[in-house]
Amino acid sequence: MAKTNTLLFEMIKMLPDGMPAYQAFELISGELKKDGLPKYDLGSYTTIEMPKEAKLLIQETLGKNLINQNEYQQTTKIHQQVLKIIGNLLHIPNQEELYGSSTTGSSEAIFMALLAAKWRWNAMGRKGEPNIILCSNAHISWYKCARFLDIKIKEIALTAINTYPIKAVENALDESTIGVVAILGCTYLGYCDPIVEIDNMLSNINKVNKWDIGIHVDAAIGGFIYPFAQELKEIEWDFKLPNVKSINLSGHKYGLVYPGIGWLIFRDKQSFPKGLNVTSAYLSGESESFTVSFSRSSALIVAQQFCFMHYGIKGYGEMVENCLWNASILSEALQKTGFLDVVSMNTLPVVAFKFKEAPPFKIRAFTKLLREREWMLPQYQLSGELKAITVMRVVVRQDMSLTQITQLINDIVECYKILKDDNAG
C-alpha cells in the first residue's frame, strides 16, 4: 500500500506505458477514502447523495456535451424545460420571454448577472465608474466577480445581526449604480434580506431620479426553499417585485442535484442585454449560449429535470419542511446546552451559533476535537462591524437525519466538557 501511495503522489510525469485500469482505480480510490466524509461536512450546502435512477441518468449523459445543441436536441429541450419550470417558480412575467441558462454554480450565474447589469447601465449612456451596492453579508463570489469585471463595490457594513441597513443602502445609490444585491439566504447566518422593502425603496428612488436601478436576488440558498415552505411561500421576493431583474439559484444546494449546477434567470427581454448571447457555428449547426464555459456535460441538467419530475412540489415541500424541522430541533438543543447561543433564526435550515462566554480554550481546539469524531464544523468571524463575533455553523441538508443530529449534539457537549476540564484551573 505504502509503495502504491508513493507512486500516486510522486508521479509528476505521466507513466510511459500507463497502468491497468483496475490498478489506477485502486490507487486513487484508496487515497480518496482518506478524505473527510461528506455526510459529516456540516458547513457545506451541496447535495451529497441522489437516488439511483438519477445516478443512472447522470452516467448515461456525462459524455454529452451540452453546447452541441443540434446533435443533442432532446437534451437541449430538457434544458429549456428546466428553465421554464424555474421561470414559473420565480413568477417571470411572460413565459414567452424566457432568458436564462444553467451555469456551473451560482458563482458563474452571478458573474453573468453582474455583466448583464453593467451592460444595461452602459446602454443607458450613463457616465462614470459603475458600482454595485451590497451589504457585508454578501457571498465572496460577489467580490470576486466585481473585481474581474471592473465594477466598484459599495459595501454597506452590517452593524447588527438580522438588521438590514436600508437607509444606508439608499444613501449609497447614485447614477453610476448598476444594481443592488439582495440575498435570499446569507451564507454565514442564513438570514434573508427584506427584498420587498428594497424594491419599494428603489421604485421611489428610480421615479424621482429617472434611474432604472434593479435588484439581483442571490437566491443560491433560498431559491429552492421559499417556493415550497409553508411559512415562506407567500412572501414576495422574486419577479413578482417590479425591480427584480435577475435571480440566481444553486441547483446543487436545495435544488437537490450533485455539485456543479446553478441557474440564472432574467426577468424579461429588456433585462437581458443584446449581445450577451453568443452564437457558435463550428459544431453541427448553430449553438447559442451566454455562459463563461463552452463545453460542459449535460448530466446535471438532466439530473435537475429528474428531481423536478420525481419529487414534484410535494417532494420539495417535504424535504424543505423536514430540513427546517431538524434545524429547529438542533437550534433548541444547542441553546439548551447552556454554553452556546444560537444566532440564526431558522428561516432557512441553517444553524449558526457562538459560545455564550469566551471558553477557556481556543475555538479551533474545539472544532479540531470534533473533527476527530468525523464532524467538520466551520468556524469563522462575521464581516462588517460584526467582526468580533466568531460563529460556528451547521447547514441542515436533506441527508441529515434526527439520529445524526442527536449524535452531533452529544459530541458537541462531550467535546466541550473534555476541553473545559482539561483547561480548568
Ligand X SMILES: Cc1ncc(COP(=O)(O)O)c(C=O)c1O
Instruction: State the binding string over 253-292 for ligand X (x if CB under 6 A, else -).
Output: ---------x------------------------------
Place of cell 483496475: 22
Strand partners, 405: none
* Helix, strand and coil percent figures for the chain, each rounded to 5: 40, 15, 40
Q: Is 114 in the site for ligand X (CB under 6 A)?
A: no
Closer residue to ligand X in complex, CB, 140/313: 140
* Residue 183 or 225 having the CB closest to ligand X: 183
User: Do 348 and 185 touch, CB atoms closer than 8 A?
Assistant: yes
Bridge partner list, 380: 391
Cβ neighbors of 372 (< 8 A, separation 6 or more) are: none
**Binding residue for ligand X, selected from 100, 105, 223, 349, defined by CB under 6 A:** 105
**CA distance linking residue 316 with residue 226, whole number of Å:** 10
Binders of ligand X among 347-386, rule CB under 6 A?
none
Stretch of 154-162, 213-221, 364-372, 395-403 lying at the interface with ligand X (CB under 6 A): 213-221
For ligand X, the binding residue among 180, 221, 241, 333 (CB under 6 A) is: 221
Query: Which positions from 26 to 45 touch ligand X by CB under 6 A, shown as an x/- string?
Result: -------------------x
x/- mask, ligand X, residues 62-101, rule CB under 6 A, reads ----------------------------------------
Could you tell me if 277 and 288 are in contact, meaning their C-beta atoms sit under 8 angstroms apart?
yes
Which of residues 87 and 185 has its CB atom nearest to ligand X in the complex? 185
- Could you give the dihedral angle defined by the CA atoms of residues 282, 284, 290 and 295, in that order, rounded to the nearest 10 degrees? -80
Contact status: 179 vs ligand X (CB under 6 A): no
Counting contacts by CB under 6 A, is residue 220 touching ligand X?
yes
Residue 228 binds to ligand X (criterion: CB under 6 A): no
Render 158-203 in DSSP notation, one character per residue.
P-STT---HHHHHHH--TTEEEEEEEBS-TTT--B--HHHHHHHHH
State which H helix or E strand residue 134 sits in. Answer: strand 131-135
Q: Pick out residues in 131-150 that bind ligand X (CB under 6 A).
A: 139, 141
Query: Coil, strand or helix: which one is 126?
Result: coil
Shortest distance, position 217 Cβ to ligand X, whole Å: 10
Stretch that binds ligand X, among 32-40, 83-91, 217-225, 343-351 (CB under 6 A): 217-225
C-alpha cell at 244: 427584480
Give the residues lining the site for ligand X (CB under 6 A): 45, 105-107, 139, 141, 183, 185, 187, 218, 220-221, 250, 262
